[in-house]
Amino acid sequence: DTAVSQTPKYLVTQMGNDKSIKCEQNLGHDTMYWYKQDSKKFLKIMFSYNNKELIINETVPNRFSPKSPDKAHLNLHINSLELGDSAVYFCASSPGRGHTYNEQFFGPGTRLTVL
Amino acid sequence: KNQVEQSPQSLIILEGKNCTLQCNYTVSPFSNLRWYKQDTGRGPVSLTIMTFSENTKSNGRYTATLDADTKQSSLHITASQLSDSASYICVVSESTNAGKSTFGDGTTLTVKP
């Protein structure tokens, strides 16, 4: 009965490859997010979707493209992977729209290592 | 530019002791402030959420305070346990701009026996 799930948990790949990370939430939430946590443990928001609509898009290279087929899923596709993309990527969801007075529930994270 | 600064960056305490973590912010217009706990290798978990009108909120041994005038918050941990060892992240959200959140860089707490 996992609330927010991500796959895969670990991803090791070569520079230049294209990869995807999947996220699903079974909480019935309207808003989903992708965060990047670097080696210094700093969490940075990348994207936020509300009912499949993009509402927050931080300054992220266009090699990163989120895809929301429905409000329960928000996948992250990364093209032409670079060494600097190595990090832990967290998916999260919350009820309501945006970062309002709503608790965010985080997934377990996907550790991406680019060699 | 909206900022959230946490202190100390890291803290080591003995089991059973109390400690207080600080969060200062410049986020405006203010909507809410949240404290998260992140265990190593796990996603952050929400501890407390406070709006402008709330001065204090407790969650078990965790008590958060908020002074919206001075834009300061603290997280007090009472009678620490080994399982409190984690990173504690302060997050402040705007009331506009789609409620955009600014994350602090966290305080790493280590509780030793």
Residue A60: which residues within 8 A CB-CB, separation 6 or more? A46, A47
**Confidence category of residue B97, pLDDT binned at 50, 70, 90:** low
pLDDT of residue B110: 97
Measured between beta carbons, which residues in chain A are less than 8 angstroms from residue B49? 101, 103
Q: Which of A97, A98, A108 sits opposite B43 (nearest CB)?
A: A108
Closest to A112 in 3D by CA, of A84, A73, A80: A84
Measured between CA atoms, the residue of chain A closest to residue B47 is A103
Flag if A55 and B41 touch (Cβ within 8 Å). no
Average pLDDT over all residues of chain B: 93
Interface of B with A in 5-24 (CB under 8 A): none
pLDDT of residue A23: 97
**Confidence category of residue B94, pLDDT binned at 50, 70, 90:** confident
pLDDT, block means (10 residues), chain A with 115 residues: 89 96 94 89 85 79 91 94 96 75 85 96
